[in-house]
């Protein structure tokens, strides 16, 4: 085992492995070590500038689920935008589950939202499930507040996919849009612009949100497709 693998197994929690494995149906249970995310993030901060971390980032693919998450957490800390994007684009083809995909939140994105849109467009056009999911999540995280534009709703709403983990992210995106940009997003519900499954899942997630008013929830319930 490498030093990093040895360190990861030293943090193993077998009860947490059982819990986590149930949440990751696309991940082989034998590849899950069982490490709580805060511990893994702290470890990433500890080793980020070491030779081991540099070698680790160049060693793809990884075997363990937590190795992929550690890879994501190391990328998060890259301050240089271009270097960060290069590492993300090298890593995304190896992402094979929603947990790793949704955990990667690079800090440098916030200050580079104009340039970032160029990458988002490429990610949304990818044939790879989790690259598309990452692109949608990026739009959800960085472009539903002061950087919001109605064309982003159209872009996400126009994604045609049979992939569960893509459609679940589309629903999550629109539910969040309903919380942040209700007047623009609600048209996608009232005009039935999404496929039936994603439409209903959007409403379900919106109704579960504390950021949606009771009046809005009552209105949205009237558009559930039976």
Q: Does pLDDT of 168 surpass 90?
A: yes
What is residue 165's predicted lDDT score, i.e. its pLDDT?
98
pLDDT in tens, 34-70: 999 999 999 999 999 999 999 999 999 999 999 999 9
What is the pLDDT averaged over residues 104-119? 96
Percent of the chain's residues with pLDDT above 70? 100
Compute the distance between CA of residue 83 and CA of residue 219 in angstroms, rounded to an integer: 46
Q: What pLDDT does residue 87 have?
A: 97
CA dihedral 19, 20, 21, 25 (to 10 degrees): 120
To the nearest whole number, what is the mean pLDDT of the chain?
96
Grade residue 20 by pLDDT with cuts at 50, 70 and 90. very high
**Terminal CA-to-CA distance of the chain, rounded, Å?**
53
Cα 197–chain centre separation = 20
* Sign of torsion over alpha carbons 150, 151, 152, 155: positive
Tell me which CATH code domain 112-226 carries: 1.25.40
Residue ranges in the chain assigned as alpha helix (H) = 3-10, 14-22, 37-47, 51-57, 65-76, 81-91, 98-103, 113-124, 129-142, 150-157, 164-180, 182-185, 187-190, 196-208, 214-221
Estimate to the nearest angstrom the gap between the alpha carbon of 4 and the chain centroid: 25
Q: Compute the distance between CA of residue 126 and CA of residue 49 in angstroms, rounded to an integer.
A: 31
Q: What is the pLDDT of residues 71-111, one digit of tens each?
A: 999 999 999 999 999 999 999 999 999 999 999 999 999 99
CA neighbor of 39 nearest in space, from 64, 1, 7, 85: 7
How does residue 181 score in pLDDT terms, banded at 50, 70 and 90? very high
SS3 sequence of 71-127:
HHHHHHCCCCHHHHHHHHHHHHHHCCCHHHHHHCCCHHHHHCHHHHHHHHHHHHCCC
How far is it, in rounded angstroms, from Cα 29 to Cα 138? 28
CA distance 161 to 220: 24
Q: What is the pLDDT of residue 109?
A: 97
Q: Where in the chain is the domain with CATH 1.25.40?
A: 112-226
At 174 the pLDDT is 98
């Amino acid at each position: 085992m490498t030093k990093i693998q040895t360190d990861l197994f030293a943090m193993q929690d077998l009860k947490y492995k059982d819990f986590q494995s149930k949440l990751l149906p696309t991940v082989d249970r034998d590849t899950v070590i069982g490490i709580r995310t805060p511990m893994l993030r702290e470890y990433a901060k500890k080793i980020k500038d070491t030779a081991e971390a540099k070698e680790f980032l160049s060693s793809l693919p990884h075997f363990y689920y937590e190795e992929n998450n550690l890879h994501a957490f190391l990328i998060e800390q890259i301050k240089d935008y271009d270097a960060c994007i290069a590492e993300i684009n090298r890593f995304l083809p190896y992402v094979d589950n929603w947990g790793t995909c949704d955990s990667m939140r690079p800090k440098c994105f916030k200050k580079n939202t104009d340039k970032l849109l160029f990458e988002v467009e490429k990610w949304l056009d990818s044939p790879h499930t989790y690259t598309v999911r990452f692109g949608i999540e990026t739009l959800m995280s960085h472009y539903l507040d002061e950087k919001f534009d109605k064309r982003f709703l159209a872009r996400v709403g126009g994604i045609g996919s049979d992939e569960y983990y893509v459609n679940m992210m589309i629903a999550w995106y629109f539910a969040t849009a309903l919380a942040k940009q209700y007047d623009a997003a609600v048209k996608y519900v009232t005009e039935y612009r999404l496929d039936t499954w994603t439409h209903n899942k959007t409403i379900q997630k919106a109704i579960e949100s504390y950021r949606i008013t009771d009046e809005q929830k009552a209105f949205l319930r009237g558009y559930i497709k039976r």
